[in-house]
A and B are shown apart, each in its own frame.
Chain A
Amino acid sequence: MKLVVAVVKPFKLDDVKESLKTLGVHGMTVSEVQGFGRQRGHTEVYRGAEYEVEFVPKVRLEIVVDDTQVDEVTNAVVDAAGTGKIGDGKVWVLPVEDVIRVRTGERGSEAL
């Protein structure tokens, strides 16, 4: 099993979610995060004073999938989240040792 982590534009969350649903992904965890990459931040102005905000709001998705699904899930995220402009985000994949469903105690792929 693998953990697919994606940081994408908040505006693209709906598209990514719909795309993953069609692949039969059963669940994901989403959080609002702030970060920076190569996309520059922005400036804000309060009472004439300029503030630099290097962090940009993003949405972070965590999806645990079976090894066989990793490619299609990562491709789906990349396709759905992409706008072709800087700041589209990143996707990375980590190995997962075990998954346990709390309600039943099932383990491994069964618990996905």
Chain B
Amino acid sequence: MLAAAVSYVPYPSWLNPADNTWQLTAATFVGLMSLPGLAVLYASIVPKKWAVNVLGMMFAGFSLVMVIWFLYAYKLGFGANSFGGGVKDGVQTQLTGVGGWTHFIDNFWGKPGPITSPLGEQGQAISAANTSVPFHFPTSTLAYFQFVFAAITPLLFLGSVLGRIKFSAWCLLVPLWSTFVYTVDAFLLWGGGYFAQEGALDYSGGYVIHMSAGVSGFVAAWVLGPRLLRDRKHFLPNNLVMAAVGAGILWLGWNGFNGGDPYYAGADAASAVVNTNLSTAAALLTWVAMDAWLSKEKKPTFLGAVNGMICGLVGITPCAGWVNGQGAIYIGVICSAVVWVAWNFLSKVRPFSKVDDALGVIYTHGIAGFFGGLLLGIFGDPGMLQLGCGHLDPSGQVIATTATEFATAKGTCVPFSVNGLIYTGSAHQLWEQFRAAVFVIIWSALITFILMQLIKLVLRGVRYKDEILEVGDLAIHGEEAFPEEAFASRVGVGVGVGASSSEASGSGSPPDDPVPSGGSGS
């Protein structure tokens, strides 16, 4: 088989070491955003009785997505073939029913399958994902890069459901949600599915990740019911310094989040990184200024700055390499201001006042992601990037990386740019963005609701009993985030093991022990 022949070549002809290096680096950055970034951020802004529970769910969630991703889920979202046959070998092949329901259904979901074989891991990445050049790295690189995105999404909406969800319910929700919500949204917008073909765009996940996380978290929190009244009244952070560490890793990790999404280590990757930071800085400053001048207390709070930072990061995510630096600043300011207003006022209106979204994920991720996606239709600068027609021939070799080449080899191809309203006067992109947003909101909400009901049925309830919620970490995990050693003494097997300890050494002290055995004695 051809597969075996190419699998162990260190540098296959299609591989570009720079692209591969950057993509793996970017993926690792994004992974660090989850572990430890988000884990530490969330664990620090909850009361100390919940810190271990948050960490446990973060690490378990990350692991669950990793395993299902390589066993079947990657191909659901990014496989070269769609379930309905609209995408084949990474090329869109829809011939009939374009624009209608058939088109939608044929291009709805990828074909599941493992990517754990030598060729599965080391063959050239093939997907109908939009990029201006074909992938110059193996499937493992693309799949791992996409895994860290898939993993952080449920971890983001852990912020909505923490403080009452059962650990077991979480461990069922994460793989089910990744399978039935995430991969569908991802295929539709990224894997060459219906909305991608229609022209909707999402640079790194304003819709697929953030808006979807916000909406899903909100619905899951609604099904779960609120935290204990006492927890809601006393929900103070346990360590703002550690929260700063988590938030900082999140911000700089985003350089990989957005910088990795051109799929090549080129000029647009650099733009994406710069724009991400511009938007974030502007958004952080916007929130701090609004806190200082418009809030009741008139104080610039640090957690407000973190909220503003996240709004900027989320808002620029769907746009990063498709807007220019000026657009990035506008996006940061607008997303931060909109979310600030929503956070302070919308939260008093139904249904927001009735659903206990513990860390407000619906605002900083849901609303910021929604607006960021729409703003792409306004600030998208056609001068930034042209998306092309590259694809692979059946033997895995790259052909046709330009429109002319593609047209000769494969038929028609119209490379396209992102046409924002203010540059082209056309609202078409805005409309495509809006359609995709509406679908992602409805799909995420509906399927999350069904999954939560299902889990409720299977586990006889998705939340812990009140007496467990009163205690938190100790009742659930038997661990505390900050145990007091003076109060705890080891029992059972293992006490006294280790002859180097002076108490256990029995007759006399070891020869190199500087303290005489009869000395301090304590």
Q: Which residues of B contact A50 (CB under 8 A)?
A: 490-492
Give residues 37-86 of A contacting B (CB, 8 Å).
42-46, 49-55
Q: How far is the CA of A45 from the CA of B230 in the complex (A)?
A: 27
Instruction: Across the interface, name the chain B residue whose C-beta is closest to A46.
Output: B479
Q: Is the CB of A34 within 8 A of B484?
A: yes
Q: How far is the CA of A46 from the CA of B483 in the complex (A)?
A: 10
Q: Which residues of B contact A44 (CB under 8 A)?
A: 474, 478-480, 483, 488
Interface residue tally on B, bucketed by range: 10 to 19
Q: Is B19 an interface residue (CB 8 A)?
A: no
Q: Is A14 an interface residue (CB 8 A)?
A: yes
Give residues 225-278 of B contacting A (CB, 8 Å).
230, 233
Contact among A11, A49, A53 for B470, CB-based, below 8 A? A11
Binary flags per residue of B480-496, CB closer than 8 Å to A gives 1, else 0 = 10011001111110100
Q: Is the CB of B491 within 8 A of A51?
A: yes
Q: Is the CB of B488 within 8 A of A51?
A: yes
Q: Which residues of B contact A34 (CB under 8 A)?
A: 484, 487
Q: Is the CB of A49 within 8 A of B489?
A: no
Contact among B233, B470, B487, B494 for A54, CB-based, below 8 A? B487
Q: How far is the CA of A53 from the CA of B494 in the complex (A)?
A: 17
Give residues 468-514 of B contacting A (CB, 8 Å).
470, 474, 478-480, 483-484, 487-492, 494
Q: Is the CB of B487 within 8 A of A14?
A: no
Q: Which residues of A contact B494 (CB under 8 A)?
A: 49
Q: Which residues of B contact A52 (CB under 8 A)?
A: 488-491
Q: Is the CB of B479 within 8 A of A53?
A: no
Q: Is the CB of B489 within 8 A of A51?
A: yes
Q: Which residues of A contact B480 (CB under 8 A)?
A: 44
Give the shortest distance, in Å, between B41 (CB) and chain A (any CB).
24
Give the shortest distance, in Å, between A79 (CB) and chain B (any CB).
18
Contact among B233, B478, B484 for A43, CB-based, below 8 A? B478
Q: Which residues of A contact B492 (CB under 8 A)?
A: 49-50
Q: Is the CB of A53 within 8 A of B487?
A: yes
Q: How far is the CA of A55 from the CA of B487 in the complex (A)?
A: 6
Q: How far is the CA of A51 from the CA of B494 in the complex (A)?
A: 11
Q: Is the CB of B491 within 8 A of A45?
A: no
Q: How far is the CA of A50 from the CA of B483 in the complex (A)?
A: 13
Asked if A14 meets B230 with Cβ closer than 8 Å, knowing A44-B474, A46-B479, A52-B489, the reply is yes
Give the shortest distance, in Å, between A58 (CB) and chain B (any CB).
12
Q: How far is the CA of A45 from the CA of B479 in the complex (A)?
A: 6
Give the shortest distance, in Å, between A30 (CB) and chain B (any CB).
14
Q: Which residues of A contact B474 (CB under 8 A)?
A: 42, 44
Q: Is the CB of A14 within 8 A of B233?
A: yes
Q: How far is the CA of A46 from the CA of B490 in the complex (A)?
A: 10
Give the shortest distance, in Å, between A60 (CB) and chain B (any CB).
16
Q: Which residues of A contact B470 (CB under 8 A)?
A: 11
Q: How far is the CA of A53 from the CA of B480 in the complex (A)?
A: 11
Q: Which residues of A contact B488 (CB under 8 A)?
A: 44, 51-53
Q: Which residues of A contact B487 (CB under 8 A)?
A: 34, 53-55
New contact pairs (12) apart from A44-B478, A51-B491, CB-CB < 8 Å = A11-B230, A11-B470, A34-B487, A43-B478, A44-B479, A44-B488, A45-B478, A45-B479, A49-B494, A52-B490, A52-B491, A54-B487
Cβ contacts A to B, 18 pairs, < 8 Å: A11-B230, A11-B470, A34-B484, A43-B491, A44-B474, A45-B478, A46-B483, A49-B490, A49-B492, A50-B490, A50-B491, A51-B483, A51-B489, A51-B490, A52-B490, A53-B483, A54-B487, A55-B487
Residues of B within 8 A of A (CB): 230, 233, 470, 474, 478-480, 483-484, 487-492, 494
